[in-house]
Structure 1
Amino acid sequence: MPGSGSEKQSDRKLQSIGIINALRRGTVPASGLERLAVGIAAEEKAIADQLDYVATGRSDLKFVRGDFGSGKTFFVCRAQEIARSGMFVTSHVVISPDTPLHKLAALYSAVMNGLRTENGEHALKSIIDSWIYRIEERLIESGGDEDEEKLAIATAEEMEKSLIRVSEENSGLAAAVRTYYHANNRGDFAVAQAALGWISGEGTVGRTFKSEAGVRGAVDEGTALPFLRGIARIIVQAGYRGLSIAFDETETAQGSSRPLREKGYVNLRRIVDAVDRNESPYTFFFFTGTPSFFEGPKGIRSLPPLFDRIQTIEDDGFRNPLQTQIILSRFDERRLEEVATRVIEIYGEAYGEVDQSRVNLRFIRAMITKITSRFGGRIDVIPRIFLREFVDLLDKCALYEEYDPMVKYQFEGAKMGDVKEEERAVMEVVW
């Protein structure tokens, strides 16, 4: 196709700029993570294999465990990137006071609002539209009438057949999807939007929608998981291979009161049991947590049935990413050097070739030493800070021919406004 090569080159450059922009902010890039990923090839393959298994109509899960600085969030974002490239819909939920582990309805709503495909975010509407469009296409291809009114009638009839399995999971979800279709067809976009809101877990939607759909209330603790199963079926019928959900920072649950913490762990056990019984077909679950979440007195060890289900064989120095838990190792100097080298390549694609007489492996090692000296020699806590500072000096080298990073660079960590609690805890104060 004419121009396709230049378009791909342009897309690559835009992705490179996006990666560098994210590193400037100290955040995980939205795409292109495979270009930064180092030392996790075995884990990436394990995830890809599990996703293939889930796409056959099964369910599976993985817990990702690591200390601060081991790259849990980066890893789970990379795993979700693998899922999307494999035609999965994904959602990334951070466990917090607004989305606590003990409230399934809140988690469900966060999952729905975070649905993402390879082509876009907030994807619930596009998924349901794709599902309807595929039904219409099948009818037309099988010799159906293309007259708008007759096609709508035939589509409604065919929808009922497709909704049978969804209705088995939750009749309310099937009714809401049905109402969305009819409201859209007659141009009643207020009701159609209310239907999407109700499906996504909104507590307050218009009475007109509820009356037409014949539903009451909203998604609650008892219906959240059945709703999720129904959504996964619609996702597959819309042409995707499945749904991949990441629950990040589950260690946050340890800060809840004991009754709420225990309720959260019971919810987690329910999900694990549902996976084991294949009650969540086409769905893959990720959970990330620190070692204290897995082993501490306020962690899942406090619920033995859950702890027994997901504990790992003792580490003997050979990582096994096929276990229920992927245990991430801490960042070391070699991995940080490799990431820095990749950032140089990405920066070059974004803005032009980097002057490697000024920014080279010798300087990278000197820079790592300068930063780690302020963090008690701990390389594992500096990757985010290092990369942010590194991009800054790449900018200065690009802007000023006379800028010599080996002479000019000084790490002023104490002046950084966004140093995280875990980073500050090991930072050495200079008086």
Structure 2
Amino acid sequence: MMIENIKPREATSIINSLLGGVVPKTGVQHITVGRSAEIQAFINALEDVKNGHSMVKFWIGDFGSGKSFMMHLLNTVAMKQKFVVANADFTPQNRIYANDGKSLALYTAIIDNLAIQTKPEGGALSTLMEKWIEQIITKAAQENNISIEDIRNEQYEKLIQDYIMRTVNELTDVGGFDFGLVIMKYYQGYIKDDELLRKNALRWLKGEYHTKTEARQDLGVRDIIGDDNFYDMLKNFCKLFVSIGYSGFMINLDEAINLYKIPTAVMREKNYEKILSIYNDCFQGKVSNLFFNFAGTREFLENERRGLFSYQALKSRLETNKFESQEIRDFAQPVIRLMPLNETEIFVLLQKLKQVFDINYKTNVDITSEDIQLFMEELFNRPGASEFLTPREVIRDFLNIMSILRQNPGFDKAKLFADIEVKDERPVEEDLENIKEI
């Protein structure tokens, strides 16, 4: 079981991130175990979205069961299938419905994190804009029999602007005029090397203007992106990406427990209503090539008082297929439950991590498969391990031991294994239950 084709950069990203207790942004496919059925189902769903359908999936699992890991893996798979992807986390400061700037904050995070295969770390907005503009320039040159060099001259600026506006109008439904105007400004900045104009256009597209006056002064537009219209803008971007030649736009929203924690019932309900309207848009064919993934705990989904199931219209859509069991899974439904990794899968995962660690440090730490077995026995035999040991903790302990052995070869492994402590890292459930209703 050798890891193949791993780039040094990916190895470093994996080790550094996992030691820090977070999921690596790149390279996760090299250490994936036990999720092949879920991934296959996801690839089938991507195929549908590529063909013009839209999709919403809810990835539900307990704390530490690998939801964030799964989200990053979905990114890697989708980028290979030529999707534009974006990740954002729900936090107390951002949500999907708001009237105080909190959903605009979510929108800005999404646009900031746009990623494509050549820019997997995010920040791909300007690359995508330039790609699109170059296509418009080429099209205008061909249709008007002008050479690709000449068409960049100032005399043809108006021609290109007409093409930009026409294309944007064909693509967009709501808010298209200002969207087109801003892209035109971006084009002017791009062609004339006017860095400030380009920056201002990007600022508008990211939702970073907070007053219409300022946006009008800088860009001559009437409107700005806000809580009320950010979803329309995401749909506009989706159409734009598809027109460039991408398969679609996938948006991953993690840490959905933060919607469950919204203290006011009315505001929580408004957020669930927004999720329902996105869900209906996607499944009723009102939008094309758009894929939303939400990741959250069982509490977020099933709690009848404050979870998604507290909103009847969502509950009826998201209830699990009653014929599903742990052995017989139905991955076609909107909710995909992530089962915890079993001990065999964790063993394979640790073997893979050992290889990545050695590749990263150009070393060969003295840990055998038998040692990994011993490490796992020590860990899983601890009091409480079966109840709350998560892959995150197993991985961190294993890498910490590897780090010590790399720097202190010959140190007694058995002593390190014996020193392992199992801690309950889960958030306290009663805290969630006792959040004050306002």
Aligned-partner SS, 2:225: coil
Q: Is the 8 A contact 1:331 1:380 kept in 2?
A: no
Which residue of the partner structure matches residue 60 of structure 1? 55
Corresponding position of 1:291 = 298
Match of 1:327 among 307, 328, 337: 337
CA distance in 1 between partners of 2:388 and 2:26 (Å): 23
Counterpart residue type for residue 404 of structure 2: K
Moved segments of 4+, more than 6 Å: none
Q: Distance in 2 between matches of 1:167 and 1:402?
A: 65
In 2, distance between residues paired with 1:51 and 1:18? 26
Q: Is the 8 A contact 2:164 2:180 kept in 1?
A: no
**CA 1:375–1:57 in structure 2 vs 1: closer, same or farther (change >3 Å)?**
farther
Matched, 1:70 2:60: no
Q: Tell me how far 1:191 sits from its aligned partner.
A: 2.8
Please name the residue that 1:172 is paired with. 178
Query: Are 1:354 and 1:394, in contact at CA under 8 Å, matched by a contact in 2?
Result: no
Aligned ranges for residues 180-191 of structure 1 at < 5 Å?
180-191=186-197
1:243 pairs with 2:249: yes
Q: Equivalences for 1:304-319 in 2 at 5 Å?
A: 304-314=312-322, 315-317=324-326, 318-319=328-329
Alignment: residue pair count: 412
Alignment partner, residue 167 of structure 2: 162
Residues in 1 aligned to 2:346 and 2:223: alpha-carbon distance in whole angstroms: 51
Partner of 1:144: 146
Taking structure 1 as the reference length, what is the TM-score of the superposition? 0.88
5+ unaligned residues in a row in structure 2: which ranges?
Answer: 431-438
Distance across 2 between alignment mates of 1:411 and 1:286: 39
Report the equivalent of 2:411. Answer: 403
Given the alignment, which residue of 375, 389, 413 partners 1:381?
A: 389
The answer as to whether partners of 2:211 and 2:224 remain within 8 angstroms in 1 is no
Q: 1:398 to 1:212 in 2, by over 3 A?
A: closer
Deviates more, 1:399-408 or 1:94-103: 399-408
The answer to whether the 8 Å contact 1:91/1:244 transfers is: yes
Contact 1:17 1:350 in 2 (8 A): yes
**Who is 2:87 aligned against?**
92
The Cα offsets for residues 86-135 of structure 1, whole Å up to 9 and x where unpaired, read as 11111111111111233343332221122112222211111111100122
Sequence identity percentage: 23
Q: Quote the Cα distance in structure 1 between the aligned partners of 2:214 and 2:67.
A: 44
Deviation track 1:247-280 (CA, whole Å, cap 9, x = no partner) reads: 1111221111211111111111111011122223
Paired position in structure 2 for 1:44: 39
Instruction: Indicate conservation of the 8 Å contact 2:107/2:207, yes or no.
Output: yes
Mapped contact 2:185–2:198 kept (Cα < 8 A) = yes
Q: For the Cα contact (< 8 Å) 1:63–1:326, is it kept in 2?
A: yes
How far, CA to CA, are the matches of 1:40 and 1:102 in structure 2? 32
1:210 corresponding residue in structure 2:
216
Task: Return the alpha-carbon distance in structure 1 between the equivalents of residues 204 and 400 of structure 2.
Answer: 45
How far residue 240 of structure 1 moved from its aligned partner, in angstroms, is: 1.9
1:28 aligns with 2:23: yes
Structure 1 residues without counterparts, runs of 5 or longer = 1-7, 426-431
Distance 1:24 1:252, change over 3 A: same
Is contact 1:59-1:280 (8 Å) kept? Answer: yes
Amino acid at match of 2:325: D
Is the contact made by 2:34 and 2:341 (CA closer than 8 Å) also made in structure 1? no
Report the CA distance shift for 1:37/1:279 in structure 2 as closer, same or farther (over 3 A): same
Contact 1:191–1:206, Cα closer than 8 Å, also in 2:
no
User: Secondary structure, in 3 states, of the residue corresponding to 2:173?
Assistant: helix
1:105 paired residue number: 104
Instruction: Please tell me whether the aligned partners of residues 232 and 283 of structure 1 are also in contact (alpha carbons under 8 angstroms).
Output: yes
More off after superposition, 189-198 vs 295-304: 189-198
Pair 258,402 (structure 1): closer, same or farther in 2 beyond 3 Å: same
